Structure 1
Amino acid sequence: MRLHPVAAALTSAVLLASPLPAASATPATAESARATDDPAGYVNPFVGTAPGGTDFGHGGGAGNTFPGATAALGGIQWSPDTVTRQHGGYAYKDNRIRGFSLTHISGAGCSDYGNVPFMPLTGRPDPDPAARHATFSHSNEEASPGSYGVRFDNGIRTQISVTQRSGIARFTYPAGDARPAGLTVDAGRAFNKATGKISVGARTLSGYTDSGGFCHSSNRYRLYFHVVFDRPFAHTEPLDGKTSGAYVSFAPGTRTVTARVGVSFVDVAAARRNVTVEQGKRSYDQLHGAARDRWNEWLGRIAVRGGTETQRRVFYTALYHALLHPSAFSDTDGRYRGMDGKVHRTRPGHVQYADFSGWDVYRSQGQLLALIAPHEASDIAQSILNQGRQAGYFDRWTVANGGTRVMVGDPLPAMAASIHAFGGTDFDARGLLRAAVAGRQDDRQRPGHQQYDTLGYIPAGTKGVWGSAATTLEYAITDAALAHLAGRLGDTKTQAVLTRAAGNWRNLFNPVSGYIQPRNADGSWP
């Protein structure tokens, strides 16, 4: 692929963005290419797993990231969970791991996912679920884009790698332990309340888990999974007497066990198909290498020349975290479960995405993705439209195939419009514009829209609005983004209407204080 350089400065470093093939593209210099042959080597996935400041109740004191294995925009995030609760599942200060669950959200201020944790052990599981953890040292732990590994103090080693919708784990048990090698898998446990069911075969585990409740919302989802091991079970039993979990052990003398797992939000058959299609018969080492190569392809779309080693580590670690979400939600056959609960199918060669942290990402992440990955960014914009059509409105923060109504404003239409502005244009932009304009009159999408349209701002104390001044500004930003989209599409009438509305922020400027501030319905300032 020939590279399209975009110059930018970062302190003493010069960045060469190299996202897309183009007729006018210029190859990156040999120096910059050499500098980024292995950009994944600069990434530290542990960044953000320790609190960096005081948490005032919304997760803001920590990055809430996770160090485990995932692909860029991947649909599986197989990562360790510590006993100490952290929204990303992992607290760096804790030396106790209680499992390796299949799903995580990076950087959120509330908890969700953490589904279907696996926990390797020798002998039987402790009868007390709270005691089911193993200690470890960070010196025996490693993480890099696409893989994670740790050796517990008890000698058990876990190595994990992933594809887009599946994962592979290699568990190595200590030779000096005569107890049977085994593990637990629990579909009834997650970061929030969960139930589930596991069916046990000769060397397979499959089932589903129901969970949700992001930021105490009513949102729920069902995740299906299928696990196949490289050897048969010697013994199986329900975990704690419940069909939501399983304890399995292997023949005496077993030292290494490999597990392949696929996930899907459609059904178990799709989860099985995902692992078969994406992994084939490739070994752990082959899949580990492929995951690293794929991450280097993604991270290498921005080549760095100059700067210090520390600056490169900071840059590529930040870029890595910017590429974790949204998450691939459709299966290898294109099917996915929509916001209406029905199964839909994408166009061939396209992906439906989920987990949109709208207010947190619409200002810059969508634009970055459009610059370096216009195909995927276009699919993200189409996914936003699909969610809006299926739900009947655009939610502000969506998890899996449900909305949570968390945060403020109307961010997802703005994100889609910005993706279009920055080069991700392969989606139904006219449909997006129509749906977004209609949603401006929907109380679920824009609480306080009546006052916003009639007064030109949302008054202080308006019911259902979290921060009247902030919400007014957010609506105005989205109106501006949609106005520009309408202009690019040649819809001058809609452009004019939205451009006028985008100026509503001025109505909250208090000339006496010199600040934007809340305003009463009668026009007075509180």
Structure 2
Amino acid sequence: MKYRIIACAAVLGLLSACGSRHEPDKAAGRQEPAPAEYVNPLIGASTSTGKAGVYHGLGKTFPGATTPYGLVQVSPNTITGGDNGSGYSFEHTSIEGFAFTQMSGVGWYGDLGNLLVMPAAGPLRTARGQEGVAGSGYRSGYSKKDEKASAGYYAATLTDYGIRAEMTAAPHSGMLRFTFPQNEKSCVQIDLARRVGGTSTRQYVQVVNDHTIRGWMQCTPEGGGWGNGDGHAEYTVYFYAQFSKPFKKLGAWKADIPKNWKRKREDVESRRYQEQVAKAAVLDSVTELEGDHIGVFAEYNTEKNDQILFKSGISFVSMDGARKNLEKEISSWDFDGLHRQAVALWNQALSAMTIAGGSDEEKRIFYTALYHTMIDPRMFADADGSFTGGDGKVHTSADYTRRTIFSGWDVFRSQFPLQSIIHPRLVNDVVSSLLSLADERKKTYLERWEMLNAYSGCMIGNPALSVIADANAKGIARFDKEKALQYAVQTSNQFGNGERGYTVEPFGISNTLEYAYTEWCTATLARSLGKTDVAAVFEKRGQSYRNIFDPEKGWFRPKDKSGNWQSWPDGGRLKQWYGSIEANAYQQGWFVPQDIPGMVALMGGPEKVASDLTTFFEKVPENMMWNDYYNHANEPVHHVPFLFNHVGKPWLTQKWTRAICRRAYHNSVEGLVGNEDVGQMSAWYVLAASGLYQVCPGNSRFEITSPVFEEVTVRLDPDFATGKQFTIIAHGNSPANLYIQRAKLNGKAYDKCYLDYKDISAGGTLELTMGPEPNQQFGD
């Protein structure tokens, strides 16, 4: 009940906050568009490795319909194979179907993509077929010219069948609307085995009545998925689905997959496997069916422009939970009304930030970026608050909303600092979810990349400790701090630099630096709770970055187990993967956020560091695609532009953040230079374009930089902040006037290049006067 009360209160608060957003623009004599009108979900919706110039591909976002932090994402899926985590890529020429669950901006082969629904006409095909080979399967080409994607809506025309497909969503459910041509053998078919990056390994379906089915899809590591099974994702998706027109019969297909066949990604993609599915046994009518690779279909005789709608509730708890979710959220067949509700939810959520000034293009980039930060961490609980815990049991919580998809290594850097301002309740939900998951799974540590209760072990470091320490430092923590400290200590002891004082291969630089940071995070939490002895231990460990700095090379260098330096490569610190994950030593070496003065001293002092940083940026290609210098396409460097603020040259922070906003973000399919990574890439833009950034979560300092817009207002949560809103005004701002000349905070002269979080949460106004040349005295 508390979950629903909180949700309703939040909606009411958001609605009231929207009031000023839609006042008429008197100067222009028109109404300012609502925030959702600026959203373009196709930004970043590409996995093209060719255009990215690296195996990581581009943004990997999905273009389909969802709601803020919703459990359901109804989206087109263009291909199953490859490192195609979102299930969709704009350059693909055909659609396999429309699934009810997706991931946003991830690599590692992805997961979800469950309950794949496809309208078709003509002979039944049980396999998806080959891209570009018409009639080889149920996939269809689709028309790019009339593909539509907006907040809460997606539509495309399937050219092989002449069918228009539209979709919209509610938080735990979704609806599809198919407009058919005249055909005596039209159908709506559902591939229950479908899963991005592999296959579900067991499926079940039951006919409830002449327009309703229910069932489940069990996904295990043996079926690939997250990390092609290495991510340990194991979950069951339950559905309760209805057709708007009764079916005379529900048919099914059942493929005979030999028990000795492996079912990882590469196996499912193989010609052998797909041929086996293509010759699946077809059953004209079923009332109940279970198998290893099954699908169902409802046949119809359609006239031109006949519409058949399909809606389903989704649950990770039970079929009954899916039914309750559907009945609570979608009680009718009013597709357009449901679409309007989804748009209203997005307008409510996006009104957390309002902007003025800037170009139409920049507004679209900004609000789409904010939209992408509101996909995850998604709700994992049903509408009634029940969820499946890490112990496999059903739980409920009155204290927090259970959430999932914590892309830790990515999102601790920008996504959670942003959420701490606009949605602090979500930060607490995530921490409570991670703490509870550790309890349920009887783990001694907190997971770094959680997905649907899985301890995936993806990437490195202990990012959950960053989120915990940051919430605590900002005074917004509403979770069990004593339990959090217990797990922080255990996590740091199990995965940290320990008594040796550094970490060895395979990523000796990356791990040592990131562990040193999160050991410092543990120390700050311990000291705030009066645990001075614990704090002293981890404060010392927070300095362990010093143990891998080689004075001879003037840079960080990995060591072996005996304490000897590893060989210095011919490429020096530009050598990719040298002691570093998805980076080189030059990129990774700047990561000492907890002690920037100490790092600068090791590197030779402020002037030398400023010179090195300048080289780091000036050698970046104009398009800012993957490179050996400031590589915005990947997370380790995201804080680096703001280091100029710490070496007495804040005008260079202003110069380079404006350049990154202009060169690395665009209103296009290729508008993200790297993977979206579950909100991180977009959160960086939202913060930097607003004129703020937090280099060191756990230290409540926010850097001031040059905003893209003339005015940005952040609505504050009254349960966590004393102020109502915080506004940044940039007088005279323009592409040419990008340098801060002077500043005022709440009407008083302000000469620092940073703010404290408490300055933001107290509400007020930061006024910046902009000009075309640097003022080297400001913020020095």
TM exceeds 0.5? yes
CA offsets 1:378-413 (integer angstroms, 9 cap, x no match): 212211212222231322222212121111111122
Distance between the aligned counterparts of 1:106 and 1:420, measured in 2?
28
CA offsets 1:398-449 (integer angstroms, 9 cap, x no match): 221212111111112222332444464222233222222122233xxx2xx4
Match of 2:219 in 1: 211
Match of 1:321 in 2: 372
Query: CA 1:310–1:57 in structure 2 vs 1: closer, same or farther (change >3 Å)?
Result: closer
Match of 1:15 in 2: none
CA RMSD of superposed structures (Å)? 2.7
Specify the SS of the correspondent of 1:454.
Answer: coil
What amino acid sits opposite 1:99 in the alignment?
G
2:487 to 423, 428, 435: 435
Match of 1:10 in 2: none
Match of 1:63 in 2: 59
What amino acid sits opposite 1:163 in the alignment?
A
What amino acid sits opposite 2:489 in the alignment?
V
Match of 1:145 in 2: 151
Distance between the aligned counterparts of 1:438 and 1:381, measured in 2?
16
Query: CA 1:228–1:390 in structure 2 vs 1: closer, same or farther (change >3 Å)?
Result: same
Match of 1:222 in 2: 236
Q: Is the 1:235–1:250 Cα contact (8 Å) retained in structure 2?
A: no
Match of 1:43 in 2: 39
1:132 to 138, 162, 173: 138
CA offsets 1:471-522 (integer angstroms, 9 cap, x no match): 1111112122233333444444433332222111111111111111201333
Q: Is the 1:54–1:60 Cα contact (8 Å) retained in structure 2?
A: no
Match of 1:395 in 2: 447
Distance between the aligned counterparts of 1:289 and 1:322, measured in 2?
21
CA offsets 1:334-393 (integer angstroms, 9 cap, x no match): 111112222221216x31001111111111111111211122222122112122222313
| Higher mean C-alpha deviation, range 187-196 or range 30-39 | 30-39
Distance between the aligned counterparts of 2:325 and 2:310, measured in 1?
14
Instruction: State whether structure 2 residue 524 is matched by structure 1 residue 484.
Output: yes
2:406 to 339, 347, 356: 356
Query: CA 1:475–1:331 in structure 2 vs 1: closer, same or farther (change >3 Å)?
Result: same
Query: CA 1:40–1:502 in structure 2 vs 1: closer, same or farther (change >3 Å)?
Result: same
What amino acid sits opposite 1:166 in the alignment?
S
Instruction: State whether structure 2 residue 502 is matched by structure 1 residue 495.
Output: no
Match of 1:408 in 2: 460
Query: CA 1:435–1:237 in structure 2 vs 1: closer, same or farther (change >3 Å)?
Result: same
Match of 1:342 in 2: 393
Distance between the aligned counterparts of 1:255 and 1:502, measured in 2?
66
Distance between the aligned counterparts of 1:296 and 1:32, measured in 2?
18
Distance between the aligned counterparts of 1:421 and 1:167, measured in 2?
39
Q: Is the 1:32–1:303 Cα contact (8 Å) retained in structure 2?
A: no
Specify the SS of the correspondent of 1:93.
Answer: coil
| Higher mean C-alpha deviation, range 253-262 or range 60-69 | 253-262
What amino acid sits opposite 1:118 in the alignment?
V
Instruction: State whether structure 2 residue 165 is matched by structure 1 residue 168.
Output: no
What amino acid sits opposite 1:249 in the alignment?
E
Query: CA 1:511–1:56 in structure 2 vs 1: closer, same or farther (change >3 Å)?
Result: farther
Distance between the aligned counterparts of 1:523 and 1:109, measured in 2?
34
Match of 1:235 in 2: 249
| Higher mean C-alpha deviation, range 75-84 or range 126-135 | 126-135
| Higher mean C-alpha deviation, range 411-420 or range 72-81 | 411-420
Match of 1:83 in 2: 79
| Higher mean C-alpha deviation, range 477-486 or range 198-207 | 477-486
Q: Is the 1:120–1:156 Cα contact (8 Å) retained in structure 2?
A: yes
Q: Is the 1:59–1:108 Cα contact (8 Å) retained in structure 2?
A: no
User: Superposition pairs for residues 367-406 of structure 1, below 5 Å?
Assistant: 367-391=417-441, 392=443, 393-406=445-458
| Higher mean C-alpha deviation, range 233-242 or range 393-402 | 233-242
Instruction: State whether structure 2 residue 162 is matched by structure 1 residue 155.
Output: yes
Q: Which runs of 5+ in 1 are unaligned?
A: 1-19
CA offsets 1:221-277 (integer angstroms, 9 cap, x no match): 111111012221123211243743101123554811122211111110001111111
Distance between the aligned counterparts of 2:559 and 2:412, measured in 1?
26
Q: Is the 1:97–1:136 Cα contact (8 Å) retained in structure 2?
A: yes
Query: CA 1:338–1:119 in structure 2 vs 1: closer, same or farther (change >3 Å)?
Result: same
Match of 1:508 in 2: 548
Instruction: State whether structure 2 residue 318 is matched by structure 1 residue 264.
Output: no
Distance between the aligned counterparts of 2:175 and 2:450, measured in 1?
28
Q: Is the 2:52–2:58 Cα contact (8 Å) retained in structure 1?
A: no
Instruction: Give how far 1:64 is off.
Output: 1.1
Query: Which of 1 and 2 has greater Rg?
Result: 2
Specify the SS of the correspondent of 1:227.
Answer: strand
Distance between the aligned counterparts of 2:94 and 2:317, measured in 1?
33
Distance between the aligned counterparts of 1:345 and 1:127, measured in 2?
39
> Given the two structures, how large is their TM-score scaled by the length of structure 1?
0.86
Distance between the aligned counterparts of 2:538 and 2:24, measured in 1?
47
Instruction: Give how far 1:468 is off.
Output: 1.9
Distance between the aligned counterparts of 2:428 and 2:532, measured in 1?
23
Query: CA 1:245–1:73 in structure 2 vs 1: closer, same or farther (change >3 Å)?
Result: same
Match of 2:331 in 1: 280
Q: Is the 2:176–2:310 Cα contact (8 Å) retained in structure 1?
A: yes
CA offsets 1:319-342 (integer angstroms, 9 cap, x no match): 111211112101112111112222
Match of 1:96 in 2: 94
What amino acid sits opposite 2:321 in the alignment?
A
Query: CA 1:482–1:128 in structure 2 vs 1: closer, same or farther (change >3 Å)?
Result: closer
Distance between the aligned counterparts of 2:546 and 2:23, measured in 1?
50
Q: Is the 1:104–1:113 Cα contact (8 Å) retained in structure 2?
A: yes
What amino acid sits opposite 1:215 in the alignment?
G
Distance between the aligned counterparts of 2:211 and 2:218, measured in 1?
24
Match of 1:456 in 2: 501
Distance between the aligned counterparts of 2:200 and 2:491, measured in 1?
33
What amino acid sits opposite 1:455 in the alignment?
R
Distance between the aligned counterparts of 1:163 and 1:423, measured in 2?
33
Query: CA 1:435–1:206 in structure 2 vs 1: closer, same or farther (change >3 Å)?
Result: same
What amino acid sits opposite 1:304 in the alignment?
I
CA offsets 1:436-465 (integer angstroms, 9 cap, x no match): 2122233xxx2xx4xx21121113x4xxxx
Q: Is the 1:169–1:259 Cα contact (8 Å) retained in structure 2?
A: yes
What amino acid sits opposite 2:207 in the alignment?
V
What amino acid sits opposite 1:187 in the alignment?
L
Distance between the aligned counterparts of 1:356 and 1:366, measured in 2?
10
Specify the SS of the correspondent of 1:139.
Answer: coil
Distance between the aligned counterparts of 1:227 and 1:29, measured in 2?
37
Aligned residues: 489
Q: Which runs of 5+ in 2 are unaligned?
A: 1-12, 130-136, 254-279, 283-288, 567-780
Specify the SS of the correspondent of 1:332.
Answer: coil
Q: Is the 1:394–1:412 Cα contact (8 Å) retained in structure 2?
A: yes
Specify the SS of the correspondent of 2:354.
Answer: strand
Query: CA 1:252–1:285 in structure 2 vs 1: closer, same or farther (change >3 Å)?
Result: closer
